[in-house]
Amino acid sequence: MTGDRLDVRRTAKLFIGGEFPRSESGRSYEVHSHEGALLAWAARASRKDLRDAVKAARSAFPGWSGKTAYNRGQVLYRVAELMQGRRAQFEQELADAGASDPARGVAAAIDRWVWYAGWADKIGQVMGGTNPVAGPYFNFTIPEPTGVVGIVAPRDRSLLGLVSRLAPAIVSGNTAVVVASERSPLPAVSLGEVLATSDVPGGVVNILTGHTAELVPWLAAHMDVNAIDATGVPDELFADVERAAGDNVKRVVRARDVDPFAAEAQSPYDVTALMEFKTVWHPIGA
């Protein structure tokens, strides 16, 4: 071993169905630090990779949504535990991306997993309920997951911004296809490694790296995606996303523009934004 050895460059792969495939296209792109230094090569996902991710998410949906809410909360808490053990790596990746306070950003991302884990078995009681009606009936409102959700991660908050959109999406039983920050994908790739070693079933979260402008239109137009969180969609693409989503009446949501560290940056309404509310009538005495 000499002092002249070169570091092993990271080759970041996709995260689809609980596995780490390379892009079927064979393409990759360079990832640089905010100072311009080469950090890694990341896989450049194709339309075929996106279709594979949606298929994996759809296959995982029945099992994930069928788990008890309490169990999903336990799984999200386990993600926070594993991120806690890899804090140094996440902090370095945020520092490379130019974050002003990497330690604060990682701590907030871990805490956000814990916060949403606590809502897992409470959202049904808080947002659902028994409705008063004038007639011999019981009337119940029951919140249910929407299905497969596409999430476009914020460009400049590659970890906290992503967790703030992903955790409320999956805590209710949805599965997700994530398009990571194009400029700073490494925190999302590392999060995929955490998810793979946690209790999150394969396919519940799928993470694609690549060019946002290439992937987002196909994600918005995919007929088996039920909703899209367009928080990270550039303004110049947003109108196109809304038009494409209209083909299957896909719900489009966007996070409020608030301080990501503020208390209002986490809300149970971010959970219900990606849920359906089913009303059930039942005759009294039947």
pLDDT tens for each residue of the chain, 286 residues long: 456 877 778 899 999 999 999 999 999 999 999 999 999 999 999 999 999 999 999 999 999 999 999 999 999 999 999 999 999 999 999 999 999 899 999 999 999 999 999 999 998 888 877 778 888 888 888 889 999 999 999 988 889 999 999 999 999 999 999 999 999 999 999 999 999 999 999 999 999 999 999 999 999 999 999 999 999 999 999 999 999 999 889 999 998 888 888 888 899 999 999 999 888 888 887 5
Q: Kind of pairing, strands 129-130 and 137-145?
A: antiparallel
- Helix (H) / strand (E) containing 192: helix 186-196
CA distances from 285 to 75, 132, 193, 282 (A): 39, 16, 52, 9
Length of the chain: 286
Q: What angle do CA 231, 68, 72 make, to 5 degrees?
A: 40
Which residue's structure tokens are 């990779």? Answer: 49
Tell whether 107 is covered by a domain: yes
Paired residues of 148 in beta bridges: 175
Helix axes 102-119, 87-96, angle to 10 degrees: 120
Cα gap 146→96, rounded to integer Å: 36
Is 238 a member of any domain?
yes
Backbone angles phi, psi at 152, to 5 degrees: -100, 110
Q: Give CA–CA dist 219/50, Å, rounded.
A: 7
The parent domain of residue 23 ranges over 12-31+38-283
- Residue 225 DSSP symbol: -
Give one DSSP letter per residue of 55-109, joined into a string: HHHHHHHHHHHHS-HHHHHHHHHHHHHHHHHTHHHHHHHHHHTT-S-HHHHHHHH
Residue 3 lies in a domain: no
Residue 68 burial (CB count, 10 A): 10
pLDDT (0 to 100) of residue 127: 81
d(CA 243, CA 78): 38
- Whether 70 maps to a domain, the answer reads yes
In a domain, 7, yes or no: no
CATH of the domain at 49: 3.40.605.10
Task: Specify the pLDDT at position 3.
Answer: 67
Q: Is residue 5 part of a domain?
A: no
Determine contact, residues 196/190, Cβ cutoff 8 Å. Answer: no
Q: Is residue 219 part of a domain?
A: yes
**pLDDT score, position 92:** 95
> Amino acid letter at 278?
K
Measure the CA–CA gap between 97 and 113, rounded to whole angstroms.
22
Quote the number of domains for the chain.
Answer: 1
Residue 138 lies in a domain: yes
Q: Which two tokens stand for residue 20?
A: 């780490």
Residues 6+ apart with CB under 8 A from 68: 121
